[in-house]
Every structure is written in C-alpha cells, then in structure tokens.
Amino acid sequence: MQGNPAIILHAPQLGENIGAAARVMLNFGLTDLRLVSPRDGWPSAAAEAMSAGALGQGVSVTVFDTLEAAMTGLTYTVATTARPRGMEKEVFGAAEAVGALKARQGQVAVLFGGEKSGLPNEAVALCDAILTYPVNPAFSSLNLAQAVGVFCHQWGASAGLEGKFGGKGEGVDAPATRENLIGMFEHFEAELERAGYFYPPEKTPVMITNLRNALVRAQWTEQEVRTFRGAIKALSLGRGKARVVREE
C-alpha cells in the first residue's frame, strides 16, 4: 500500500510559493515537503504567512543542499516539466502519474523545478518518469504552487485508481533506494572516467546524462544494484583480475 508521496521543490525562489505549496499539499493530505537549496533560505516568514497554518499543522519541511540528498530513501520519482525533453522516459498526465506512483512500493516523490527555469536536465535525469500538464502552448508557465496543487488534487481524487497500473517487478524484491542507485551511477562513471571513456572532456556531462537516462528506466532492485556494481568492479579490474582476486 503506497503512502503519500513526498513533494520536492528544486531551487525554489519565493517563500510565498513554498508556503502556498505547503497549504495545498495539506488540503489533499500530503505532508512531506523537501526543499533543495531554497534561494531565500529557510525558515521563511513569507512561506509561513502563505501556508495558512499548514507549516505548523502537519506539513514537515526538510531542507537539503543537493537533489541527491533530498532523494535519499526514495524508490520512484516523477519529474514535472512543461517541456518535452527529448529524454527516453515515460511521459504522464496527472492521472497517469498518480497511477504509476501508487503502483510502486516504498517512498515515492514528485519533483518540481524553481520559478525561473524549471528543472535542469541533470535533475530530470535522476527521475523515473515525466509528469506534464496539458497546458496552452501560448501560455504554458504555471505558477509553482499551482503546479503542486494540480498534482495534489489528482492524488486525492484518485483513490480508486490503485492497482490500475501494472507496476514492474512488484513484490519480488525491494526496490533500490535512490541513494543506492545514485551510488551505482557514480561508481560506473568513476570507473569509466578512469578508463578514459569520457572523451572529449566537454562531452562528459551529456554522456553521463545519456547513460543515467537509460539505466534509471530499469527501476532497479537493491539486489540488482549490488549485482551491477559487482559487474562494474569486475570489468574495471581488467581481464582475468576478478577471478584472481576471488581465488586468492
């Protein structure tokens, strides 16, 4: 049974929007709000005022320096974006996103970008799927708290949708936490760097994003992460070396 998702705001600017997001979260029963590098710091008097009491009555706020830290413990995350990204991820409307989130075990989350420019590609690359709203292409920029509100209402309204979506590999094995998945990416990338794979150097970020986008879609279990890390290690030792280490 899926509990309520966390809401992560990535580099939000205005305390007013953080407070308004907290209010509409609690309107629909969501209480786990995570902030990554809020521009104006935290706590925020403007956020308190706009939350209409939600910040004192049930919504807990945790502040993180990095998105990776904010994703600790998560098993599935949806990134909200107005623009198609040309990334190979599933793209959901609100109802579909709720169905996908409910089908997952463990703590899930929805990620929203800051007011000015939304989510950077590196942030989207860490997520499993994309949530987008059917906006007017001539006027597509939603207020941040409105974007949060639309999702929260859909979550509240979709109690009957549970189980409608398949869900991959359910119940077989525990899904990997996001920090373990990120650890696997970093291990892979560190060994690729040592091997000299990233060339020319200026292409490193896009090569990393492409690899992560492909791998993240597999929705790894904890066991699979361990297996893959063993494979990276074996390859990085060089031909025949893993066998020697084991047989010593």
Q: Which of 97, 91, 34 has the alpha carbon at shortest distance from 67?
A: 34
In terms of DSSP H, where are the helices of 28-175? 45-50, 67-70, 94-102, 121-125, 144-157
What is the rounded distance in angstroms from the CA atom of residue 33 to the CA atom of residue 55? 10
Residues 6+ apart with CB under 8 A from 31: 4, 25, 58, 59, 60
Question: Taking CB under 8 A as the rule, does residue 241 contact a copy of itself?
Answer: yes
Quick one: which segment of 32-40, 66-74, 118-126, 222-230 binds a copy of itself (CB under 8 A)? 222-230
Span 13-32, contacts to a copy of itself by CB under 8 A: 20, 23-24, 26-29
Residue 79 is a binding residue for a copy of itself (CB under 8 A): no
Q: Applying CB under 8 A, does 49 fall inside the site for a copy of itself?
A: no
The reply on whether position 46 binds a copy of itself by CB under 8 A is no
Which of 106, 133, 183, 229 lies at the binding interface for a copy of itself (CB under 8 A)? Answer: 133
Please identify, using beta-carbon distances, which residue of 45 and 231 lies nearer to a copy of itself.
231
Q: Is 239 in the site for a copy of itself (CB under 8 A)?
A: yes
Q: Which of 41, 43, 73, 93 binds a copy of itself (CB under 8 A)?
A: 93
* Positions 151 through 190 that interact with a copy of itself (CB under 8 A): 153, 156-157, 159, 161-170, 172-173, 188
> Do residues 119 and 147 lie in contact, with contact meaning Cβ atoms separated by under 8 Å?
no
Q: Which of 142, 127, 30, 24 is nearest to 70 (CA)?
A: 127
Number of residues that bind a copy of itself (CB under 8 A): 95
CA distance 117 to 54: 27
Distance CA 145, CA 248 (A): 59
Candidates 7-15, 102-110, 117-125, 195-203 — which segment interacts with a copy of itself by CB under 8 A? 195-203
45 is a site residue for a copy of itself (CB under 8 A):
no
Nearest distance from C-beta of residue 171 to a copy of itself, angstroms: 10
Smallest distance, a copy of itself to C-beta of residue 65, A: 29
86 binds a copy of itself, rule: CB under 8 A: yes
Q: What is the distance between the alpha carbons of residues 64 and 37, in angstroms, rounded to a whole number?
A: 6
**Span 110-129, contacts to a copy of itself by CB under 8 A:** none
Q: Where are the beta strands (DSSP E) in 40-106?
A: 60-64, 74-80, 90-92
When asked if residue 69 is in the footprint of a copy of itself (CB under 8 A), the reply is no
User: CB of 63: closest distance to a copy of itself in angstroms?
Assistant: 22
Residue 229 contacts a copy of itself per CB under 8 A: no
Amino acid, single-letter form, for residue 121: N
Describe the chain by its helix, strand, coil percentages, rounded to 5.
45, 15, 40
